[in-house]
Amino acid sequence: MKAAANLSHLWPELPYLDRFDAASEAGFTGVEVLFPYDVPAKETQRALMRGGLQLVLINAPPPNYTGGERGFAAVVGREDRFAHDMRRAGRYAQALSVPMLHVMSGEGSGLAAKATMISNLKAATRSAHNGLMLTLEPLCPQAQPDYYLNDYALAAEIIAAVDAPNLRLQFDSYHAQMIHGDAVEVFRKYRDLIAHVQIGDTPTRGAPGSGDVDFPALFAEMRDFGYDGWVSGEYTPGPSTKDTFGWMKML
């Protein structure tokens, strides 16, 4: 397993581009940025090269600067907007050699939202450039009220219905624990679908070891399964990010 740092959460006291240097100095080789679209891709690329880092994941869609909703995969009637945003996110991912793109569902409910999301994802997986993996991540209501994709079983159903080799599941220990009560069991149940792992503790999305998630058991389950992908720290670090990296020793 390889440790990555989510730069949208860690080192919040530093300017965006300085966080890449901090991650490299802390021993990370991979980083995530949820929404890197505010900064020209070439500036992010220079920061990555300076630290010998790989950008392993970004989110889609880009932020909605008009202040409206974010994420349209499951929003009935916004199929054109979804396709537009995916084209822009795909160009950004390609420019930065990002291998994974987390596709956000947006708000919605019911069978119409599910059918819309499946249809949109079928189109998105067909049009994605070679080497790009699309991921789905269920988000808990405490963090994203009214978010459509709020259950791991639902995510698994949608992935099965789309039936594309470049659509997989993104596991997040914080959301899994908040939604289903046992992050270890969620990983065990859906491990065959998982392409990427993020970690944070419950109930406040603090650093691993600060709350309810059994991280020794989770990492043991991941090792036993043979998971060898990225494990990204996506949590609120508190006053000192550098003091929260004990979890890296458990990988």
Distance in angstroms (rounded) separating the CA atoms of residues 49 and 232: 19
Catalytic residue among 69, 79, 137, 185: 137
Closest CA to 70 of 119, 108, 113, 22: 108
The secondary structure of 111-150 as a DSSP string is HHHHHHHHHHHHHHHHHSPTTPEEEE----TTTSTTBS--
Paired with 54 in beta bridges are: 30
- Burial of 185 by CB count in 10 Å (0-12 exposed, 13-18 middle, 19+ buried)? middle
157: annotated active-site residue: no
Residue position matching structure tokens 């908040």: 178
DSSP-derived secondary structure letter, 68: -
CA angle 186, 200, 156 (to 5 degrees): 30
137: annotated active-site residue: yes
| Greatest distance between any 2 Cα atoms in the chain | 48
156: helix, coil or strand? Answer: helix
Q: Which residues are catalytic?
A: 137, 234
